Amino acid sequence: MSLQQVLSEKVKEAIQQLYTIDLESVELQATRKEFEGDITVVIFPMLRVVKGNPVKIGESVGQYLVENLKEIDNYNVVKGFLNLVVSNEYYSNFFIKIKAEKHYGFVTQLEDSKAVMVEYSSPNTNKPLHLGHVRNNLLGYSVAEIIKASGKKVYKTQIINDRGIHICKSMIAWQKYGNGETPDTTALKGDKLVGNYYVKFDQVYKEQIVQLIDEGKTEEEAKKLAPIIVEAQEMLRKWEAGDDEVVQLWKTMNGWVYKGFDQTYASLGVDFDSYYYESNTYLLGKDNIEEGLHKGIFYKKDDGSVWCDLSEEKLDDKLVLRSDGTSVYMTQDIGTAIQRIKDNPDVGGMIYTVGNEQDHHFKVLFAILNKLGYDWAENLHHLSYGMVDLPSGKMKSREGTVVDADDLILEMAKTAGIISKDLGKLDGYTEEEKNDIYKIIGLGALKYFILKVDPKKRILFNPEESVDFQGNTGPFIQYTYARIQAILRKANFDYHKDVFDVILHEKEKELIKQLELYPDVIQNAANELSPAIIANYTYDLVKSYNSFFQNVSIFGATTDQEKIFRVQLSDMVGKTIKSAFKLLGIDVPERM
């Protein structure tokens, strides 16, 4: 039981003993810095049931706690706030306990809890991953790791959009203009090569539209009649009919793309437990629609199309099957969700990491799955996130103006190198060591800049700003971790034994209080599906450590016990930084 829980129970006990009244809840908060104390009991909410002067009530409760709770040394009352001074012994004992825990803050996987499936990435196979995908992957991966740390089993998955007209556009352009080139003959990553032909298609298509308009066609007619779009549509029809030549080309080009994606995922440090492909799932859902029709969940219009009435959910009616019997996206999303539970019967909920332009789609999807009567549908979440903009403006993949994920990762390492050189941070390192550290700093800067922001907010990404070694940035936190490792290397004595009876400096108590928050921060981040909670906690911990470092001499301590304790405290802070950053998918350098 945490100190906050113990305190809440004891305050309730005090009110019962002193006023014979049962309190439902107790409001606690951190004591404001200008007052003496560690935890504050807010008296005002009690006045609804405990009649009297708030200062007198605070004095009575404070006295009771000092007499009946060994963890409380003293108290003071300021208006309706009871400020409690937690004992030195409590902090010492708490620290001894947590430093012995191998995975402090993490909850062991609960045997009887349902697993959670987290979907992220879900790219199209007609282009490489870009900056928008980077935010998606970082968010999905981090949320999966945080939920795992909170005590649940997690499956990481994605659905690859490997079929449709977009894919055929790249294929037809390669067929017409590629001259048989491959990733091997061009030394290009497969996803980049295929993406180039997607851009090529768009260029040719636009030229053909202009030409047709010059010949007297309307713009609408020209868009439909342009030879290259007609050829792409014919290729799609052939693919759907199982044409051997088209299917073989599709497999070959998708194979190039998958190899490219795998390299990008490895660079980003994200992984997956399973893959779903739209080419396999696009026919799913029709049986479920048929079943829903029999149950009266769906209804058929005169033209034969099938709809779902969502008026009770305050949503518009939704088409789930066209009049010709073909699927819409909603059909296959319903079928895919159901299939995933069949594949993983221990899954009790799913999280979809998809941009906020799909907010309505997921409200409808979840509402329909609820109507179909699946109990797990109560535990479906859309991890909705805002777009990523650059100072130069929005990205457009058709025109080839996207920020390529691989290029961005390389650029971040270069930016980290330039800034590190200017600051003289890595003097005395070999070039190889420097390059390794630049990668860690650059990628850490990118990930932290994106993950420290609430997922729902739009981001304006500035590479130079993200690699700043001051402020709320990844490099600032990484630098503090490296500083702690330098302290541990400097300690020429055994600092692992337990230390008792050390009178704690105020800065040491503040640090232990920050460490005490970590388990709750993980649970809160898991509940809110927000890596930003972990990121900003880590920044607060680092600020607290740097304040301790500047105000308390570690190796100049007056006693050996104090010296050992301060190195131990530094070590524990370092381990917590590393643990928290691992949840964000960020590495920390041992030297910097």
One digit per residue, the tens of pLDDT, for the chain of length 592 reads: 788 899 999 999 999 999 999 999 999 999 998 999 999 999 999 999 999 999 999 999 999 999 999 999 999 999 999 999 999 999 999 999 999 999 999 998 877 789 999 999 999 999 999 888 999 999 999 999 999 999 999 999 999 999 999 999 999 999 999 999 999 999 999 999 999 999 999 999 999 999 999 999 999 999 999 999 999 999 999 999 999 999 999 999 999 999 999 999 999 999 999 999 999 998 899 999 999 999 999 999 999 999 999 999 999 999 999 999 989 999 999 999 999 999 999 999 999 999 999 999 999 999 999 999 999 999 999 999 998 887 765 444 444 456 889 989 998 999 898 888 877 777 778 888 889 999 999 999 999 999 999 999 999 888 888 888 889 999 999 999 999 999 999 998 989 888 877 899 999 999 999 999 999 999 999 999 999 999 999 999 999 999 999 999 999 999 999 999 999 999 999 999 999 999 999 999 998 8
User: Is CATH 3.40.50.620 correct for 115-389?
Assistant: yes
b/e map of 414-444 (b: 16 or more CB within 10 Å)? ebbbebbeeeebbeeeeeeebeebbbbbbbb
| pLDDT number for residue 398 | 47
Pick the closest to residue 406 from 453, 439, 455, 437 (CA basis).
439
* Domain assignments of the chain as residue spans, ordered by start: 3-86, 115-389, 408-583
Q: Which residues have CB under 8 Å from 215's CB, separation 6+?
A: none
591 contacts 420 by C-beta, under 8 angstroms: no
Pairing assessment for the beta strands 380-385 and 347-355 based on DSSP bridges: parallel
* CATH of 3-86 given 3.30.70.20, 3.30.450.20, 3.30.1360.70, 1.10.10.10: 3.30.1360.70
pLDDT in tens, 201-253: 999 999 999 999 999 999 999 999 999 999 999 999 999 999 999 999 999 99
3-state secondary structure 358-422: HHHHHHHHHHHHHHCCCHHHHHEEEEEECCEEECCECCCCCCCCCCEHHHHHHHHHHHHHHHHHH
DSSP β-bridge partners for residue 276: 159
Q: Coil, helix or strand for 285?
A: coil
C-alpha R_g of the chain: 30
Pick the closest to residue 536 from 552, 555, 517, 558 (CA basis).
517
CA distances from 287 to 12, 291, 301, 323, 428 (A): 56, 6, 18, 16, 67
Tokens of 465: 């700003």
The CATH code of domain 408-583 reads 1.10.730.10
Q: Coil, helix or strand for 311?
A: coil
CA distances from 471 to 384, 476, 531 (A): 27, 7, 18
Let me know if 317 is exposed, middle or buried by CB neighbors in 10 A (0-12, 13-18, 19+). Answer: middle
